[in-house]
Amino acid sequence: MIRHRRKETLRVRTLVLSVLAVGLILFPLYLTIVIALKEPSDMVQVLSWPKNIRWQNFADAWNMVQYPQKFTNTFLITIFALIFTILTNSIVAYAISRNRKKSRFFNVMYYYLISAMFIPFAVIMLPLVKLASILQIDNIAGITFLYVVFGLPMNTFLYSGYIKSIPESLDEAATIDGANPWQIFTKVIFPLLTPMNATIAIFTFMWTWNDFLMPLVLLSKPTQQTLQLSQYVFQGQFSTDYNLAFASYLMALLPIMLFYLFGQKWIIGGITKGAVKQ
Amino acid sequence: MKKKNRRVASAFYFMVIPMALLFFTLHTLPFLQGVFYSFTNWKGYGKWAVVGLRNYIHIFSDPDIVQAYGFTFYFALFATILVNLFSLLLAMGLNARIKLKSTLRAIFFLPYILGNLIVGFVFKFIFANLLPPIGKALGIASLSVNILGTDNAWLGVLFVTVWQSIAFNMLIYLSGLQTIDHDLYEAADLDGATGWSRFKNITFPLIAPFFTINMVLCVKNFLMTFDQVMAMTGGGPGTATTTVSVLIYKRGFHGAQFAYQSADAVLLFLIIVAISLFQLFVLEKREAKLA
């Protein structure tokens, strides 16, 4: 009897969740796709499937925002930020977390970086933009560099939590075998960091691909703009040509959605790992 | 011998110092510069002089800034409550042996991967073109017009912010709920604890640390709300939905108020630190009590 009722509530629950998922999450996506595929004259019944699919919207948006250039910029920023974040931030976190108890210097470094997490970007952005133009890092290479450096507080926190769980006896054994700290890190520790590297890679990817504020204040030259920023910059020119605008939005969303479609389990798993560590 | 063991190899210093110097130069130094300029009258160009606390005193009588802080607090409060409420409900809904579990989880997490800006643009279209006819058909006056052009614009921004933020918080709650031993629920069943009392006495105390994380992250993020506002209202109508971050951006870069907005930024920083520390302190104390 009880068992039967429980089955019934589970069925109701599944139904409610499915309706919510379709109505609240998938509906806006459907709308985006439909509008991107329609002709302007077909907009009276916005929600209906397009009478004629108009691929021209994509071609127009492609040319207007110069998609290949914006995509390349975003892609380069994301990939290089990701690679260098993993290579450099992990080594900093390793040195800090292995020596915090032994030396005050490393302990101070730990708290220095962690406390910087409380500084919102809006607080440093005015002086940073001045500094960036003096150092000539107000371009895609520079912003990549900034992502690698600005990720340090959060990543040090995540990596150290993970490194703590790797027994120090491994380091000691390698030392006895004659390995120096660099060799210990590259040969012993780094391979063991793979799950946390994956988590940090995902966070870095999401952050750099979707970021709007940093590109907005740092990348003023049109040739340097990212996909997100170009959607903002072209708002005026899209004006009420929603089909063109939505084709452009969809093209900006598509790479990350494809990535999610195929790596969904891996992404959710990686982010959960990071979230629990926090 | 023991002392020698405790000495830190110089290689470890080489691992940390270059990145630490870069971090200092590119992050801490701008922060300190901002603090310094907040005591000056620099416009962002030309001559300047030290003016002491004048910017800070002026801030409190500047209607635009007072309004931006008022709105930001108000907004962050509502967003934090709604996001935590719905993401916890959603996580509890998903944390059962239901069909399609992983598919549903993947769909509900989807908003996290989409850029704030584009999501804002899509919903802007929905609010401007789809909702008014529905509002008219239902005879609801406030929904019959583009909500983003009215006094209720903040509700539109709030909706989109909550829509996107539920995803990440849901995942944190879900990982919290998965740490709870299923036997505990069965024991509670036998004791007759169901529904609300089961939630209050078993589920919530056990996921309290996850609640703490979510509250702190939410408040911090929502006090910095920027993207959604820029995408949907640009701070308007008038200045109704201008958050502190939007104001710093607009006036600091385009309003020749470099030093003045630096003071504004320093104030935002102090408020975020104070609230975060307060939350950590209060919530952790309560966690300890619950445990």
Measured between CA atoms, the residue of chain B closest to residue A135 is B26
Interface probe for B, chosen from A14, A17, A115, A202 (most Cβ of B below 10 Å), is A17
Mapped onto helix, strand or coil, the DSSP state of residue B52 is: coil
Indicate if A205 and A97 belong to the same structural domain: yes
Question: For residue B118, which residues of chain A lie inside 8 Å, CB to CB?
Answer: 228, 231, 249, 252-253
Interface probe for B, chosen from A14, A108, A126 (most Cβ of B below 10 Å), is A126
Indicate if A68 and A136 belong to the same structural domain: yes
Any residues with CB less than 8 A from the CB of B266 and at least 6 apart, and which? A123, B34, B35, B38
Dihedral of the alpha carbons of B66, B72, B73, B74, in degrees to the nearest 10? 100
CA B245 to chain centre: 12
Indicate if A12 and A110 belong to the same structural domain: no
B19 touches chain A (CB under 8 A): yes
Q: Evaluate whether A185 touches A166 at the Cβ level (below 8 Å).
A: no
B97-to-B92, B93, B102, B193, B280 alpha-carbon distances in Å: 11, 10, 10, 20, 34
pTM, two decimal places? 0.90
Percent of chain A's residues with pLDDT above 70: 97
Nearest to A232 among B22, B100, B117 (CB): B117
Q: Which token pair is B26?
A: 């590119």
Say which DSSP state B9 is in.
P
Residue B2 has what pLDDT?
42
Q: Which token pair is B280?
A: 């950590």
Q: Is the pLDDT of residue A70 over 90?
A: yes
Last residue of a domain, one of A33, A54, A75: A54
A10-to-A17, A25, B108, B174, B203 alpha-carbon distances in Å: 10, 21, 18, 17, 18
Structural domains for chain B:
63-290 (1.10.3720.10)
Buried b (16+ CB within 10 A) or exposed e, A149-173: bbbbbbbbbbbbbbbeebeeeebee
Q: How many CB atoms lie within 10 A of CB B289?
A: 9
A122-to-B252, B269, B272 alpha-carbon distances in Å: 10, 9, 12
Interface probe for B, chosen from A27, A38, A124, A238 (most Cβ of B below 10 Å), is A124
B111 touches chain A (CB under 8 A): yes
Mean pLDDT by 10 residues, chain B (291 residues): 62 94 95 93 85 90 93 95 95 85 91 94 92 85 84 93 94 88 78 78 85 88 93 88 93 88 93 89 76 59
Domain count, chain A: 2
Indicate if A174 and A43 belong to the same structural domain: no
- Cβ of B19 within 8 Å of Cβ of A152? The answer is yes
- Cβ of B163 within 8 Å of Cβ of A235? The answer is no
Q: Which of A40-49, A235-244, B205-214, B264-273 has the largest mean confidence?
A: B264-273
Indicate if A151 and A193 belong to the same structural domain: yes
Indicate if A242 and A230 belong to the same structural domain: yes
Mapped onto helix, strand or coil, the DSSP state of residue B50 is: strand
Q: Phi then psi for A221, rounded to 5 degrees?
A: -75, 130
For the segment A241-247, the average pLDDT, to the nearest whole number, is: 90
Q: 165-224 in B: which are within 8 Å (CB) of A? A: 168, 171-172, 174-175, 213, 217, 220, 223-224
Nearest to B262 among A17, A126, A265 (CB): A126
Could you tell me where the DSSP H helices lie in chain A? 2-20, 27-37, 56-64, 67-84, 90-99, 104-115, 121-135, 140-150, 152-163, 168-176, 181-183, 190-192, 194-210, 213-218, 227-233, 235-238, 242-277
pLDDT tens digits, one per residue of A110-165:
999 999 988 989 889 999 999 999 999 999 999 999 999 999 999 999 999 899 98
Handedness of CA B14, B17, B23, B25 (dihedral sign): negative
- Cβ of B175 within 8 Å of Cβ of A113? The answer is no
Q: Is the pLDDT of residue A230 over 70?
A: yes
Mapped onto helix, strand or coil, the DSSP state of residue B57 is: helix
Q: Which token pair is A147?
A: 């992502």
Q: How many CB atoms lie within 10 A of CB A185?
A: 22
- Cβ of A232 within 8 Å of Cβ of B231? The answer is yes
Question: For residue A24, which residues of chain B lie inside 8 Å, CB to CB?
Answer: 163
For the segment A210-232, the average pLDDT, to the nearest whole number, is: 93
B49-to-A125, B39, B259 alpha-carbon distances in Å: 21, 9, 10
Q: Is the pLDDT of residue A24 over 50?
A: yes
The overall average pLDDT reported for chain A is: 90
Interface probe for A, chosen from B3, B4, B16 (most Cβ of A below 10 Å), is B16
Say which DSSP state B38 is in.
T
Indicate if A208 and A97 belong to the same structural domain: yes
Residue A79 has what pLDDT?
96
**CA distance, residue A49 to nearest chain B CA (Å):** 16
Mapped onto helix, strand or coil, the DSSP state of residue B40 is: strand
Indicate if A43 and A165 belong to the same structural domain: no
Nearest to B31 among A123, A246, A259 (CB): A123
Indicate if A27 and A138 belong to the same structural domain: no
For the segment A56-64, the average pLDDT, to the nearest whole number, is: 89
Question: For residue A46, which residues of chain B lie inside 8 Å, CB to CB?
Answer: 129-130
Q: Which of A238-242, A270-274, B110-114 has the largest mean confidence?
A: B110-114
Rounded CA-CA distance B8/B11 in Å is 8
- Cβ of A235 within 8 Å of Cβ of B100? The answer is no
Indicate if A178 and A67 belong to the same structural domain: yes
More confident residue, A37 or B187: A37
CATH number for position A135: 1.10.3720.10
Q: Evaluate whether A131 touches B30 at the Cβ level (below 8 Å).
A: yes
Q: Evaluate whether B254 touches B23 at the Cβ level (below 8 Å).
A: no
Q: Domain range for residue A221?
A: 58-277
Q: Evaluate whether B118 touches A234 at the Cβ level (below 8 Å).
A: no
Residue A155 has what pLDDT?
94
B3 touches chain A (CB under 8 A): no
pLDDT tens digits, one per residue of A252-264:
999 999 989 888 8
Q: Is the pLDDT of residue A200 over 50?
A: yes
Kindly write down the DSSP assignment for every residue of A100-152, as one continuous string.
TTT-HHHHHHHHHHHHGGGS-HHHHHHHHHHHHHHHT--SHHHHHHHHHHHTH
Indicate if A209 and A193 belong to the same structural domain: yes
Residue B70 has what pLDDT?
94
- Cβ of A206 within 8 Å of Cβ of B9? The answer is no
Nearest to A260 among B110, B163, B171 (CB): B110
Indicate if A41 and A134 belong to the same structural domain: no
**Strand boundaries in chain B, DSSP class E:** none
Handedness of CA A120, A126, A128, A132 (dihedral sign): positive
Measured between CA atoms, the residue of chain B closest to residue A101 is B6
Nearest to A106 among B16, B23, B261 (CB): B16
pLDDT tens digits, one per residue of B225-254:
999 999 999 887 888 999 999 999 999 888
Q: Evaluate whether A116 touches B27 at the Cβ level (below 8 Å).
A: yes
